[in-house]
Amino acid sequence: MRQDRMQYVSPYAALEKIASDQPEADAIIIDDTRLSHSEMLRRITHCAGWLSVNGVMPGEVTGICVRDEINHLVCAMALLCMGTPQISLGLHETDETKRRLARKVGATQLIVEKIKPWMTGLRTVVVPRGEIAHAPGAAGSELFCASLVAAVAVYMTTSGTTNVPKAFDLSYGRLITSANRYMADPKERRSLRPGSVEFDAVRLNRVCSLLAGNTCVGFHQYGLDRLASICERESVSVLRVGPYQLASLLRSCTSGSRLPPATAILVSGARVCGALRKQVQAEISENLWVQYATSETGLISTAAPQQHDAFPEGIGFPEQGVSVDIVGSEGETISTGEVGHVRIRKDTMTAGYMAEPDACAKFQEGWFYPGDLLSREGDGPLIFHGRADDVMILDGVNVFPSAIEDALESLPGVLEAVAFPIKSRVHGEIPAAAVVLSGKAAAEEISGILSYCQQLLGIRAPREIRVVSTIPRNAAGKPLRRELAAL
């Protein structure tokens, strides 16, 4: 249902009701720190008062440069309740990138752990180590207000292929919609998502979980054996990871550990090949869910565990309220089952990027074009074929990296594979691939792997395979194909 843009929402009222209904229930479990919903609300209230006393102006765009998980999240929730737009400016970005992002979204003030030269000209408030204490004379709850559903709650950034990621706004309406979905999905009751809260995907997951009255679990530096123990002990209902994290968990398994049957795995953020799905279900958990989503639109579709055998590259069926269309490169209608460009329409998706007139071409007539290639046969699920930008053209023939990666990862000695082009004046782009081999596999086997690919793929087979110890990835976990090509 389309939301009334004049409707108001109050994050504080939602948190207050949750704290009243289930005061002692776990809200946050980060390593050795455990906070209940009532304790979380108390800290958020104290933080709002402390921020006000220290000069943070409600309503002005605020950057958060805080690495500490609890303090970052407490500050984020306090700003949300104060009706103050915010952006995370994490340590994974360079100082210059943070400065330019702050300027792009119009930030005037920062909440930081340490003042640095790039922050010159911005109002800065330094958070203390440990808990943010109550400021004498400050009444944090008096600063909380209801906000229009269309008002900006958070500024998000893309993973980015340029020096400065693109930025876009996320409304209070979309936050509440996501929180309502988390509230309705039993899998989301106690979620574990690895990674720093400074990353937008992790941060959004934590915020929506809190607004839904759920539990956020976070631990650092663990392999599959310890992770299985954590999930059992904390009754984790869903483990949220990216494909590369799944591959890492498979490599870390030393004693045949599996996740508890009640813990689902939810993977998103990049392509999940059929071979990886099969191995995960065989060795870690049969309860594997694959989501297709973008930062700009949110959730689009989900493939359930029982769909993977029939559709190894399937990403499920569009969620209610999501329109998905597959068209040609010029927006023309294409035949059913043909690979084409996907476009998405959703009431709560962002309308465009900030200060990026060229990039806004991805938003046309109410549709968002993420640059992904999909297909759909009749009433079947959506099938993911990779990024349009990654398709190689060899002597006029389209070569999909996903086909090469599928072929390579079907071999037992290959843990990970990423296809990339080598530029050629004669042939255009020559397919190549980088692989991470298992401990039992040897680099001498490459000739056999090449021969296997040639039999399976013909002209679309890679002409060269490079063995690497790890696949270079960006902050969002997506492979850096240009770096591989430069090796």
Measured distance CA(126)–CA(303) in Å, rounded: 44
Question: What is the mean pLDDT of the segment spanning 43-52?
Answer: 93
Q: Name which residue leads in pLDDT, 413 or 379.
A: 379
User: Looking at the predicted structure, is the pLDDT value of residue 439 above 90?
Assistant: no
User: Looking at the predicted structure, is the pLDDT value of residue 5 above 60?
Assistant: no
pLDDT of residue 142: 83
User: Looking at the predicted structure, is the pLDDT value of residue 71 above 60?
Assistant: yes
pLDDT-derived band at 164, boundaries 50, 70, 90: low
pLDDT of residue 159: 62
pLDDT-derived band at 69, boundaries 50, 70, 90: very high
pLDDT of residue 469: 87
* Domain boundaries defined on the chain: 8-209, 292-388, 391-486
Q: CA nearest 39: which of 269, 215, 198?
A: 215
- For 465-483, the pLDDT digits (tens) are 999 988 888 776 788 888 8
User: Looking at the predicted structure, is the pLDDT value of residue 309 above 60?
Assistant: yes
Measured distance CA(435)–CA(432) in Å, rounded: 10
User: Looking at the predicted structure, is the pLDDT value of residue 140 above 80?
Assistant: no
Which residues, other chains included, contact 229 with Cβ-Cβ below 8 Å and sequence gap of 6+?
none
Q: Name which residue leads in pLDDT, 28 or 402.
A: 28
The one-letter code for the residue type at 147 is: S
pLDDT of residue 161: 45
Percent of the residues in the chain that have a pLDDT greater than 70, as a whole number: 93
pLDDT of residue 1: 33
User: Looking at the predicted structure, is the pLDDT value of residue 440 above 80?
Assistant: no
Measured distance CA(414)–CA(430) in Å, rounded: 21
Residue in the structure block whose two tokens are 């980015």: 160
Lowest mean pLDDT among 92-106, 137-151, 175-189, 207-221: 137-151
Partners of residue 414 on adjacent β-strands: 437
pLDDT-derived band at 135, boundaries 50, 70, 90: confident
Query: CATH assignment of 391-486, given 3.40.640.10, 3.30.300.30, 1.10.8.190, 3.30.70.141?
Result: 3.30.300.30
Helical packing angle, 37-53 and 69-81, nearest 10°: 70
Q: CA nearest 95: which of 65, 131, 132, 55?
A: 65
- For 356-390, the pLDDT digits (tens) are 776 667 898 999 999 899 999 988 999 998 888 88
Question: What is the mean pLDDT of the segment spanning 187-207?
Answer: 93
Measured distance CA(76)–CA(80) in Å, rounded: 6
Answer for the pair 269, 243: CB distance below 8 angstroms, yes or no.
yes
Partners of residue 368 on adjacent β-strands: 344, 363
pLDDT-derived band at 2, boundaries 50, 70, 90: very low
User: Looking at the predicted structure, is the pLDDT value of residue 415 above 90?
Assistant: no
Q: Give, in words, the CATH class of 292-388.
A: mainly beta
Percent of the residues in the chain that have a pLDDT greater than 90, as a whole number: 57
Q: Give the CATH architecture of domain 8-209.
A: 3-Layer(aba) Sandwich (3.40)
From the number of C-beta atoms within 10 Å of its C-beta (0-12, 13-18, 19+), residue 24 rates as: exposed
User: Looking at the predicted structure, is the pLDDT value of residue 242 above 90?
Assistant: no
SS3 sequence, the chain? Answer: CCCCCCCEECHHHHHHHHHHHCCCCEEEEECCEEEEHHHHHHHHHHHHHHHHHCCCCCCCCEEEECCCHHHHHHHHHHHHHCCCCEEECCCCCCHHHHHHHHHHHCCCEEEECCCCHHHCCCEEEECCCCCCCCCCCCCHHHHCCCEECCCEEEEEECCCCCCCCCEEEEEHHHHHHHHHHHHHCHHHCEEECCCCCCCHHHHHHHHHHHHHCCEEEECCCCCHHHHHHHHHHCCCCEEEECHHHHHHHHHHCCCCCCCCCCCEEEECCCCCCHHHHHHHHHHCCCCEEEEEEECCCEEEEEECHHHCCCCCCECCEECCCEEEEEECCCCCECCCCCCEEEEEEECCCCCCCCCCCCHHHHEECCEECCCEEEEECCCCCEEEEEEHHHCEEECCEEECHHHHHHHHHCCCCEEEEEEEEEEECCCEEEEEEEEEECCCCCHHHHHHHHHHHHHHHHHHCCCEEEECCCCCECCCCCECHHHHHHC
Q: CA nearest 206: which of 262, 242, 195, 51?
A: 195
Rg of the chain over Cα atoms, rounded to whole angstroms, equals 23
- For 72-124, the pLDDT digits (tens) are 999 999 999 999 999 999 988 889 989 999 999 999 999 999 999 999 999 99
User: Looking at the predicted structure, is the pLDDT value of residue 3 above 60?
Assistant: no
